[in-house]
Structure formats: C-alpha cells, structure tokens
Amino acid sequence: MSDTHQQDWDPRAEEVLDDQIAAYDEMRGRCPVAFSDYLQWSLLRHADVRRVLEDHVTFSNAASRHLSVPNAMDPPEHTRFRRLIEPYFGPAAMAEFAPRCRAIAGAVVDRLPADGEVEAMAEMGQDFALEIQCAFMGWPATLHEPLRAWVKRQQAATLAQDREALGELALEFDGVIHEQLASRRAAGDAAPDDVTTRIMNETVEGRALADEEIVSILRNWTVGELGTISASIGILARYLAANPELQGRLRADRRLLPAAIDEILRLDAPLMSNRRVVTRPVEIGGRRLAAGERLTLLWGSANRDEAVFGDPDEVRLDRDPKDNLLYGAGIHVCPGAPLARMELHDFMDALLDASVDIALLPGRPAVRALYPAGGYSAVPLHVRR
C-alpha cells in the first residue's frame, strides 16, 4: 500500500493549471498511472482508460456519495435504468426535437452583432446550452437566467473546493426540478407532454420511479449538458477562428462537419474526467491498486495519446471513430451522445451559415478554464456576418 500513497504529481500546481493539456501530455509519457491526493489514481493513457471502461466488474461506476441514476450504478441496476433512458435519445426522439433544435441554434446566432466582437462562451455557448436544454426538458424560458446564475456560482464553488457551498447548490438545483414536478402534478391531465412529464410517468421493474430517482435523472441530464455543450461551442468556435483553412473547408462542404466536431473535441476535451472505484486488487499500467481505491479517467489525456492518434494536435477527418472516447465507451457510453451531436452540429452549421468569417482578436487570447472544467472560460472572437 506504500505505492498508493506516493505523490506522483499535483494536478492543482500552477504549472499544471497554466496549460492542463500540455501537462497531461507530459505526464502521459512520464507517469501514465499517477497518484495524487487530489485525484487519487489518474489514468492518462488511452489503453488503460479503455480497459477500465470495458471492465465494469473490476472498475465500478459507484463512485459517487449521492444517488446518481444511472451514472453511478453498475449492472444489473444500471441496466434497468439504462433501458428506461435510452429511448429519450433514440432516433424517433431526435427526429421529434430536430426542428426545435435548429430553430434555437439559428435564433442564438441571429442575435450576434453583424460585424463585431463576440465573447463566444457567454454569447454563444452559454446562451445556446441554457436555451436548448430547457427546450429539451420542457422547462420555461423564465429559468434561463436563474440557471445561468446557478452555473456561475457552481463553477466558482467547484474551483474553490467549497463542499458546503456545493452541497447548498445541489439542493438548490434539486429544488428547481421539484418545482417542475410539482407544477406538472398540479396540472394533472393538462400537464405538458414533454420529457420531464414522460420521465415522471416511467416505471422500473413494474414500480413507479421515486422522486429521488426522477430528480437524479433530470439533474444528470441538465447539469452535465449545461457545462459540456457550452464548453464544446467555445472550443469549436475558437479552433475554427485559429484555423481558417479548416473553417473554409467546412464552409464549402458541411458534410465534413460531424467528423470535424468530434475530432476537434478529441484534441481539446470539453469534459476533463470521470471517476471509478476499484472493486478488487488489480494491476494497471504497472501500478498495484487495492480494492476501494479511486480512479480518475482523464479524457483530456487519453484522447490525445500518441500511441493511438499519432500527433494529437493533428485534425484528421478520416480517423476511426471508435478510437475517440469523447462520449466514453462500454456500457456507460453517454446515452445523450445523439442529442449532443445534433445540438453541436446544428449550432455550428447555423454559425457558419450566418457568418462569412470567424477570427481571433489580436492581443486578446482565449482564457483557459481550470480543472475540473474543460475548454475555456472566455473566448473573445471577431465574427463578420
């Protein structure tokens, strides 16, 4: 167990936070399974992360202190809830939501200035994430600004590692969901036929879902999407601004857009990590881990592994998509991937349609977000429409 307590690195060190991607690239070559007090065991190689994703018996998802349906569950419990959830992101559901998704993407882009500076995280990423998520859930537009303020406070508390504030914020968000459930129950048969109402009426193993389970499902869908969709749009917009040749290719041939989006988000992760817990003694990457040890899967490193991708910064639109862990792999692969892909495609398509050029602002670099967030906290750009 002495190996367990060896401090291999400090993920919160200034030199790491200054450029997390570069720091992960360096650690991947030097110490691909690394221990720290902050993240416990960090896995930085693609092969090790994939092994964990595909062995849910040895590496359990039950790593949360709170109920998380189905994210922090293992089979058979995970299987039952996953079967319930997947149709919400199936082809029929996506076809039904597609017109609304395109309309919201177009409306957000239409609000951008005709020719001027845009802060992509706030004016594009956050606006779109809030509006599209509320629309998907069937929540009112009056929640946009309260949720924006909540996200800002939640990010600040996460950076400060203020557990008391995070606990209060979690209860506050759960309160928002409870209000949505209460309003639908009060409406009875007149309740809107939306995703939230449908989840309320689901059953698992012949029983109705408990409110705690409903809240957990809706929380996971909403909180996760608000952060990752916003981060993704900031990453994508900045990358196209910095790479006018690729921007031109995508303007000329939109069929390349889905592959380009996945590839750009491979090299610059919108979601930095996930957690697992070891269920039995195991050796991985030459390190011995005991049952109960905690793991951090660093997507921001694994998806840049030279052993799989060669030059991690090279955007190649012909890569084998199965190597890209953007949405995970194995039984816990993100069920919402079809929705996220549609949202990002529709937004970037609308942005390219409505503009003739997206450019960096000289002397105004983007500001990187800090772990556990991926992407940027600010992306100043010039958009010419």
- How confident is residue 1, by pLDDT bands cut at 50, 70 and 90? very low
Say whether 8 sits in a helix, a strand or coil: coil
What angle do helix axes 144-160 and 211-242 make, rounded to 10 degrees? 80
Q: Going from the N-terminus, what domains does the chain have, and what CATH number goes with each?
A: 2-384 (1.10.630.10)
Token digits of residue 51: 């092994």
Largest CA distance in the chain: 62
Q: pLDDT tens digits for 211-270? A: 999 999 999 999 888 999 999 999 999 999 999 999 999 999 999 999 999 999 999 999
Token digits of residue 132: 């599209």
Upper half-sphere CA count for residue 76 (Cβ side, 13 Å): 2
Q: pLDDT tens digits for 139-165? A: 999 999 999 999 889 888 887 878 899
Q: pLDDT tens digits for 61-99? A: 998 888 899 999 999 999 999 999 999 999 999 999 999
Structure pTM? 0.95
- Residues 6 or more apart in contact with residue 149 via CB below 8 angstroms: none
Residue 115's pLDDT is 87
> What average pLDDT score do residues 345-363 get?
97
Q: What Cα–Cα distance (Å) separates residue 129 from each residue in 121, 122, 126, 133, 234?
A: 10, 10, 5, 6, 11
Say whether 219 sits in a helix, a strand or coil: helix
What is the average pLDDT value for the chain, to the nearest integer?
94
225: nearest Cα among 200, 195, 204, 251:
195
Residue 89's pLDDT is 97
Residue 5's pLDDT is 65
How far is 210 from 58, CA to CA, in rounded Å?
A: 29
How far is 62 from 276, CA to CA, in rounded Å?
A: 7
Query: For residues 70 and 81, is the Cβ–Cβ distance under 8 A?
Result: yes
